[in-house]
Amino acid sequence: MADYILEVNDLKTRYVTRFRENVYAVDGVSFKLKEGETLGIAGESGCGKSTLAMSLMGYYFPPLHYTSGSIIIDGREITGEDPEVLRRTALGTEIAYIPQAAMNALNPTRKIIKYINDVLVAHNIRLNKKELREMAEERLRLVNLPVEVLDRYPVELSGGMKQRTVIAISSLLSPKILIADEPSSALDVSSQKLVIKMLLDLIDKGLVKSMIFITHELPLLYNVTKKIAVMYAGQFVELGPAHESVFEPLHPYAKGLMGSIIVPSEGIRDEHLVAIPGTPPNLKAPPQHCRFAARCKFRQPLCDSVVVPERFASDGRLFRCLLPEAVLRELKYEDQIKSKQEDAEVELDVNIIPFAGDNGDGDSGKESGG
């Protein structure tokens, strides 16, 4: 048994578009996950959350391509394995992925039980009709879903029920790691609650060992996962325990994001939300310096000229910012670093790393249109 159930080291993947351009959608992501731990990934639309999720499966097909880095699931390095072997022996059993729009991708003319059979057949498990039904019913009872859904067509199920069914099918083979990509974003709050309940139940019952949960709803993430990562333009800019990430974020972007949280509690009405102006950089040519620089309120002169490495705070939290940890801990998003003189006083405690190559022009001013 390895120390970590999932270990990702400096993973880089890219899309190759129809016009042969590279989109560096995951660009140097590292993290480790112990058994029973859950990781939440938050971030703006287009920052690469879904791409990261797909990349974690180690199974790449165009337009997504692997560039570098490693993925180790429970001691087994899956990067570089033969895709066909991987599909048979890892997908669904080691790691399972519930795509963003999975519930709307079900073919309306096939009954749910057919999908269950498909999953089994894909892993060379062949059961006769009776065994299949028994096994499916047992599984559904385990996850508290009514067995009637087996004989329903997808269109006959409400959104929430459909999503829970999709989760049940995806976790059928008890994968070690379950990746859920925005499973509840298309649902209303009540259905969302049922979906979350089911996911947490899967972990409690040991049906999945670890979960990665993707959403842009921070309050939801806060309630679902133990750790939260904030992603920006293909990189993690903040990774730490859920409570610290939400209440004491270090990275300026994370600070801004936390200011956009809306919960129905007293006081929320009185102050305007924080809206970070500007748009994320174009991932076709991401800047080599701090990717957030173009939108950052606290930008320092050096921010535009050096590579920002992953840094670790005293308590082990990850952040990707040049400002010293102490300064970041004090800083609130509403604050302003006041005068130019004081600017100079903010000492950047980081080794200056020059840009690696000069393929990109490192121009942060270039923003993507959408």
* Contacts to ligand ATP by CB under 6 A: 15, 17, 23, 25, 43, 45-51, 63, 100, 216, 283
Closest to 282 measured CA to CA, from 106, 9, 78, 24: 24
CA distance 319 to 11: 17
Q: Mask of contacts with other proteins, 33-52, x by CB under 8 A?
A: -----------xxx------
Between 124 and 153, how does the x/- string for binding to other proteins read (CB under 8 A)? ----------------------x-x---x-
Give the count of beta carbons closer than 10 Å to the beta carbon of residue 19: 6
Q: Which of residues 294-313 bind other proteins (CB under 8 A)?
A: none
Closest approach, Cβ 233 to ligand SF4, in A, equals 11
List all residues 6 or more positions away from 216 whose beta carbon is below 8 Å from its beta carbon: 42, 43, 44, 45, 182, 185
Closest CB to ligand ATP among 143 and 286?
A: 286
How many Å apart are CA 252 and CA 295, to the nearest integer?
10
Cα separation, 33 vs 364, whole angstroms: 33
348 is an interface residue for other proteins by CB under 8 A: no
- The one of ligand SF4, ligand ATP, Mg ion, none whose footprint includes residue 299, by CB under 5 to 8 A per kind, is ligand SF4
* Contacting Mg ion within 94-133 (CB under 5 A): 100
- The distance of closest approach from Cβ of residue 325 to other proteins in the complex, given in angstroms and rounded to an integer, is 17
Task: Indicate which single residue of 75, 80, 83, 219 sits in contact with other proteins (rule: CB under 8 A).
Answer: 219
Applying CB under 8 A, among 119, 125, 261, 307 the residue interacting with other proteins is 261
51 binds, among ligand SF4, ligand ATP, other proteins, none (CB under 5 to 8 A by kind): ligand ATP
Q: What is the DSSP string of 168-193?
A: HHHTTT--SEEEEESTTTTS-HHHHH
Phi, psi of 268 (to 5 degrees): -65, -25
Reply yes or no: is the peptide bond before residue 63 cis, omega within 30 of 0.
Answer: yes
Q: Which of 3, 84, 270, 315 binds other proteins (CB under 8 A)?
A: 270
Among 13, 50, 192, 225, binds Mg ion (CB under 5 A): 50
Cβ–Cβ < 8 Å for 49, 231 = yes
Does residue 290 contact residue 251 with C-beta atoms inside 8 Å? no
132 vs 214, beta carbon nearer ligand ATP: 214
Residues 6+ apart with CB under 8 A from 87: 59, 122
Residue 151 CA: distances (Å) to CA of 159, 176, 280: 17, 28, 45
Strand 95-98 relative to strand 177-181, pairing = parallel
Could you say which of ligand SF4, other proteins, Mg ion, none residue 220 binds, taking C-beta under 5 to 8 angstroms by partner kind? other proteins
Q: Which residues bind ligand SF4 (CB under 6 A)?
A: 252, 290, 292-293, 296, 298-300, 303, 308, 321-323
Residues that bind Mg ion (CB under 5 A): 50, 100
